């Protein structure tokens, strides 16, 4: 039976770590929906609009035919229900991610028992990567090119420098 996975996040902006999780999910599942959740935690500090975030994700996943990009403003468990999703994929970087992610997984299971949360270990080279770290380093003049997907790195960097 065909399996649908959701990769949710704020993706503000997408990093090499996010893309690694999306690519690996695309190998495991028939259909992958990357969903920009605009209610997602750091909402007030967002740098890129939801449309910009979606466009950046589309540009670096265009070679993956089973990946689509969407956004949502509500509850992830409800979104998963509407999409008939089987799995929510979350990337885990370190123990520090675990408690919060575990709590979210249990909550989502209560709200929608049809969906399973699967944790994927971050690639060793991405363990320290986060959108907020990239924003901070870039604003202070550091080169963040290696941490960003190649297709979108210069646009992200230009945009972050503009909004300094
Ligand atoms: P961030 O913490 O960078 O703001 P998001 O909130 O957009 O990221 O996270 C979306 C998903 O991507 C979460 O499941 C998160 O654990 C995962 N993720 C974020 N950064 C990485 C990374 N460097 N490697 C693997 N997974 C990651």
**Catalytic residue among 23, 58, 59, 93, which?**
93
**Catalytic residue among 42, 49, 62, 132, which?**
42
- Predicted local confidence at residue 130, as pLDDT: 94
Report strand pairing: 4-9 vs 67-72.
unpaired
**131 catalytic, yes or no?**
yes
- Predicted local confidence at residue 40, as pLDDT: 54
The Cβ of residue 124 has, within 10 Å, a number of other Cβ atoms equal to: 7
CA distance 94 to 128: 8
- Predicted local confidence at residue 1, as pLDDT: 86
- Predicted local confidence at residue 96, as pLDDT: 77
Per-residue pLDDT of the chain (164 residues; tens, 9 = 90+): 899 999 999 999 999 999 999 999 999 999 999 999 987 555 567 899 999 999 999 999 999 999 999 999 999 999 999 999 999 999 999 877 889 999 999 999 999 999 999 999 999 999 999 999 999 999 899 999 999 999 999 999 999 988 76
Q: Among 12, 17, 34, 119, which residue has the most ligand 1 atoms within 8 Å of its CB, making it the best to mutate?
A: 17
- Predicted local confidence at residue 38, as pLDDT: 86
Atom of ligand 1 nearest to the CA of 97: 16
**18 catalytic, yes or no?**
yes
Say yes or no: CB of residue 130 within 6 Å of ligand 1: yes
3-class DSSP assignment, residue 99:
helix
What number of residues does the chain have? 164
- Give buried/exposed letters for 8-31 (b at 16+ CB in 10 A, else e): bbbbbbbbbbbbbbbbbbbeebeb
Say yes or no: CB of residue 9 within 6 Å of ligand 1: yes
Say yes or no: CB of residue 129 within 6 Å of ligand 1: yes
């Amino acid at each position: 039976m065909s399996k649908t996975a959701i990769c949710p996040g704020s993706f503000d902006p997408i990093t090499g770590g996010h893309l690694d999780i999306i690519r690996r999910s695309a190998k495991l599942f028939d259909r992958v929906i990357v969903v920009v959740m605009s209610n997602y935690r750091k909402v007030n500090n967002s740098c890129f609009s939801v449309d910009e975030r979606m466009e950046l994700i589309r540009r670096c996943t265009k070679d993956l035919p089973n990946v689509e990009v969407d956004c949502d403003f509500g509850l992830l468990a409800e979104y998963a229900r509407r999409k008939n999703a089987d799995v929510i994929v979350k990337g885990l970087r370190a123990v520090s991610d675990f408690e919060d992610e575990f709590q979210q997984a249990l909550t989502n299971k209560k709200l929608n028992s049809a969906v399973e949360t699967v944790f994927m270990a971050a690639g060793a080279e991405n363990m320290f990567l986060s959108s907020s770290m990239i924003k901070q380093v870039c604003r202070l003049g550091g080169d963040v090119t290696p941490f960003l997907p190649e297709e979108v790195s210069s646009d992200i960097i230009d945009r972050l420098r503009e909004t300094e």
